[in-house]
Structure 1
Amino acid sequence: MRRIPWIAVLLVAGCGQAGSGGGVACPDIGTRVGIGLTVPDPAGVTRATLDACWGDQCVTRPVDLQPETAAGATSCTGTGPDAACGASMVPTGGLQGFADIPGLAAEPVQVTVRFDDGRPHTVTVTPGFLHPGGPSCAAGGPQAQLVAGQDHELKPR
């Protein structure tokens, strides 16, 4: 009787499952953990500092604000399956940034943002887990997104 090495049996078994179409291929994509901030009307805003408190922990992070962009007009050449389309990113006039907060919990977080004038703007938000590879793939870290209104009041996005 011929003996088959165990490693060969495991490799064949693993290949059979992957090729059966029953599994979902999930990309190895990371997720930033923290809080995003969008300032659609940034009159008088050039910088922001974010304080986040949950449980018995508080952290302060700078928010690196950058010009916000969106996809501009789309142009296409051709109409068949080999057609090519493209769009350029154009500035919206707003600002956006992200504060990395390792260890951020997916529980209510009190967030205070201070812009150039130093006045505190506070809101409570609950970060949620993202699934960057799709709903069938593992969750990444928790994130929350905030938008600053006309008087810089904060709202969850």
Structure 2
Amino acid sequence: MRRIPWTAALLLLTAGCTTTPEAACPAIGTPVGIGLTVPDPAGITRATLEACWGDQCVTRPADLFPETAAGATTCTGTGPDGSCGASMVPTGGLRGFADIPGLPAEPVRVTVRFDDGKPHTVTVTPVFSHPGGPACGQGGPQAQLVAGADREIRPR
């Protein structure tokens, strides 16, 4: 009977093994907080968000900026050397974000006040984002809100 040397046997055993390649993850951060979209901003120039959970509340401004979306796409060429581009165009809405340190991934009562100071309240549960995909780990918790026609606030 012929014997295989132990180094050759080990080589044969490991030759069939494969490893999963590591994910290439971007080195980007995720802001922790609450985003706000105001599609019809008539009379709105500013917003303040108060977020409450447990026994604490945090009040932060949500600086509002014109919202944009991708416009028409133009392409040149169809092969590997071709390229496409799109310009950003205003939507007419406003968009903002309030940084809220310590925001948990559990129900949070959020009160939004616009220029008139009237409170608009909703409960939302922030979720952890994955900016580089699930293989890259999670970022901080975020929630997204949208203001309706009567300034009522709802989760997006």
Q: TM-score, normalization: structure 2? A: 0.86
Residue of structure 1 equivalent to 2:87:
88
Consecutive unaligned residues in structure 1, runs of 5 or more? 1-19
Q: Distance in 1 between matches of 2:46 and 2:117?
A: 10
Determine whether 1:121 maps to 2:123: no
* DSSP-derived class of the 2:51 partner: strand
Residue of structure 2 equivalent to 1:49:
48
Computed over aligned residues only, the root mean square deviation of the Cα atoms, in angstroms, reads: 0.9
Determine whether 1:144 maps to 2:147: no
* Amino acid in the other structure paired with 1:38: T
Which is further off, 145-154 or 77-86? 77-86
Identical-pair percentage: 80
Consecutive unaligned residues in structure 2, runs of 5 or more? 1-18
* Amino acid in the other structure paired with 1:60: T
How far is 1:25 from its partner?
A: 2.3
> Where does structure 1 differ by over 3 angstroms across 4 or more consecutive aligned residues?
none
Q: Distance in 2 between matches of 1:29 and 1:118?
A: 35
* Amino acid in the other structure paired with 2:26: P
Residue of structure 2 equivalent to 1:100:
99
Number of aligned pairs?
A: 138
* Amino acid in the other structure paired with 1:122: T
Q: Distance in 1 between matches of 2:27 and 2:20?
A: 19
* DSSP-derived class of the 2:31 partner: coil
Q: TM-score, normalization: structure 1? A: 0.85
Q: Distance in 2 between matches of 1:82 and 1:149?
A: 44
How far is 1:21 from its partner?
A: 4.9
Q: Distance in 2 between matches of 1:102 and 1:114?
A: 19
* Amino acid in the other structure paired with 1:55: G
